[in-house]
Amino acid sequence: MFVKETEIESHKVESYFNDDFIGYRNHLILEMLYQTGIRLSELINLKTDDIQSDSIKVLGKRNKERIIPISKDLHQKIYNYELKRGLLDSVEPFLFLREDGKKIYEKLVYRIINNYLSSHTNLEKRSPHVLRHTFATHMMNNGVGLEVLKNLLGHADLSATQVYTHNSFSQLNNIYSQAHPRGQKK
């Protein structure tokens, strides 16, 4: 239940969205969910003041605050979006807005993600939560520890994070089969 890296490559994502406010916003929503693993509710409630050059401050479940690092590339995308956002002349403190200057809502984000994933993957589930799973799976497959992932995802308990280990075990099994002399297939 995750998106393959090839289905969410940067050049595919960028060419999919228009070069206007909606395109910048929708592209950033997708990138933000994929690159940070934040929850839908956390995305919707992000405020412009929560953005730093190297991190975002997220208010999670039970009003628990956490800091998530972001790449320079993601920060640049946020900056470019904020330039377009500034033309709306809105007083809303929230980062993600509709064209009328009001805060985005859950169903809108679902539609954005579903539309993109429908054209780029064969997954049956095409929700923002799939991108959270994708973030976690890709992090695990690239060596991040369970405790670090727990903190990035804002889980209160390690058992909630352990659901992502099944995908990593499959990758470990493949590596073992290829690398260990007794594990190699004949």
Q: What is the pTM of this model?
A: 0.79
User: Given this model, what pLDDT does residue 13 score?
Assistant: 56
User: Given this model, what pLDDT does residue 81 score?
Assistant: 95
Residue from 120, 132, 133, 150 carrying the catalytic annotation: 132
- Residue 184 reports pLDDT greater than 80: no
Q: Would residue 110 show up in a list of annotated catalytic residues for this protein?
A: no
For the record, the structure tokens of 39 come out as 């929850």
61 compared with 125, residue with greater pLDDT: 61
Architecture of domain 5-179: Orthogonal Bundle (1.10)
Tens digits of residue pLDDT in 10-59:
545 566 788 899 999 999 999 999 999 999 999 999 999 999 999 999 98
111 compared with 151, residue with greater pLDDT: 111
Q: Would residue 39 show up in a list of annotated catalytic residues for this protein?
A: yes
Antiparallel, parallel or unpaired: β 55-59 and 65-69: antiparallel
Residue from 25, 27, 39, 120 carrying the catalytic annotation: 39
Find the radius of gyration of the CA atoms of the chain: 18
Tens digits of residue pLDDT in 64-106:
899 999 999 999 999 999 999 999 989 999 999 999 999 999 9
User: Given this model, what pLDDT does residue 78 score?
Assistant: 96
Residue from 4, 57, 98, 129 carrying the catalytic annotation: 129
Q: How many whole angstroms separate alpha carbon 38 and alpha carbon 152?
A: 8
Three-state secondary structure call for residue 110: helix
> Is 29 within 8 Å of 39 (Cβ atoms)?
no
Q: Would residue 132 show up in a list of annotated catalytic residues for this protein?
A: yes
User: Given this model, what pLDDT does residue 178 score?
Assistant: 65
- Residue 8 reports pLDDT greater than 80: no
Residue from 27, 126, 138, 155 carrying the catalytic annotation: 155
